[in-house]
Structure 1
Amino acid sequence: MDIQRLQPAGLVVSPAFSHVAIVPPGATTVYLGGQNGVDESGAVVSGDIAEQAVRTMDNASVALAAAGASLADVVQWTVLFVEGADLRAAYGAIAPRLATGGAPPLVTAATVAGLGVPGALIEVSAIAALPASSVE
């Protein structure tokens, strides 16, 4: 059985997110810790939110791949933006990659005063699930 992502009647329908996800028994859960727009040395790649957002998603891809998962396996994203960041530019950069697995995942977003990485304008974390058939 595949992971089900639902947009129940009576709730807003969005191509960007679903409201509920059902992960079948036997699936492997993968937790992605907060990723920022930093290079391999930990330096923030730019002061531009769109550039940071792209690198953040690149880093998320690399981290998920290390666990045998991909962006398409993400069930839920949490996205944090620093106050004052251009949300249109950030979402424009990441939206195509948030929902890569058909039905969109669950998404929680918030604006915060700051992040743990000085100069970072965006941070994402995620929960992914691999169906039992894809796990050895």
Structure 2
Amino acid sequence: GYSHTAAVPAGTELVLIAGQYGSGPDGAVVSTDFTEQVKQTFRNIGTALAPHGLDLSHVVQLRTYVVHHDVSKLGPIAAAVQEGWGTNPPTQTLIGVASLATPDVLFEVEALAVRP
């Protein structure tokens, strides 16, 4: 569910997306379910990109943080990446962590996008 490399063409603008998590518009986590948080997180990345005139196809790198990571969490993450990027996913680094900003946040993603 990721590419090993990505090139950023000269003359493009980088757009950095701060850590997004599975929150609704009010900032509250939408579910205690890991899979639902993953899905909402990637929707939030799309929402963050929209004001810049960008969408998920402009993302070249993801940095993914998973609370108490284990192999069972790879499936939901891979499914969400495939849904968002199909056969052309961005680079991605997965980092297992003990906790994130609040105890109910199980998954967080930083993104780097490129505006042509």
Taking structure 1 as the reference length, the TM-score comes to: 0.76
Root-mean-square deviation (CA, aligned residues, Å) is 1.8
* Structure 1 residue ranges (4+ consecutive) displaced by more than 6 angstroms after TM superposition: none
1:94 is paired with a residue whose SS is helix
Letter of the aligned partner of 1:124 in structure 2?
V
Identity, % of aligned positions? 37
In the other structure, the counterpart of 1:91 is 77
1:26-41, aligned counterparts within 5 Å? Answer: 26-41=11-26
Given that 1:83 and 1:111 are in contact with CA atoms closer than 8 Å, whether structure 2 keeps it comes out as yes
Unaligned 5+ segments in structure 1 are 1-15, 132-136
Count the aligned residue pairs. Answer: 115
Match of 2:53 in 1: 68
> Is the Cα contact below 8 Å between 2:14 and 2:113 reproduced in 1?
yes
- Write out per-residue CA displacement over residues 79-127 of structure 1, whole angstroms, 9 at most, x where no aligned residue: 1110056414531542224534x53211100110000133011001110
Work out which of the two has the higher radius of gyration on C-alpha atoms and give 1 or 2: 1
CA contact (8 A) 1:49 1:89 kept: no
Correspondence 1:1-136 to 2 at 5 A: 16-83=1-68, 86-100=72-86, 103-131=88-116
For 2:78 and 2:4, how far apart are their aligned partners in 1? 21
Higher helix share: 2
The two structures have a TM-score, normalised by structure 2, of 0.88
Deviates more, 1:89-98 or 1:74-83: 89-98
In structure 2, the gaps of 5 or more residues are none
Matched letter for residue 64 of structure 2: V
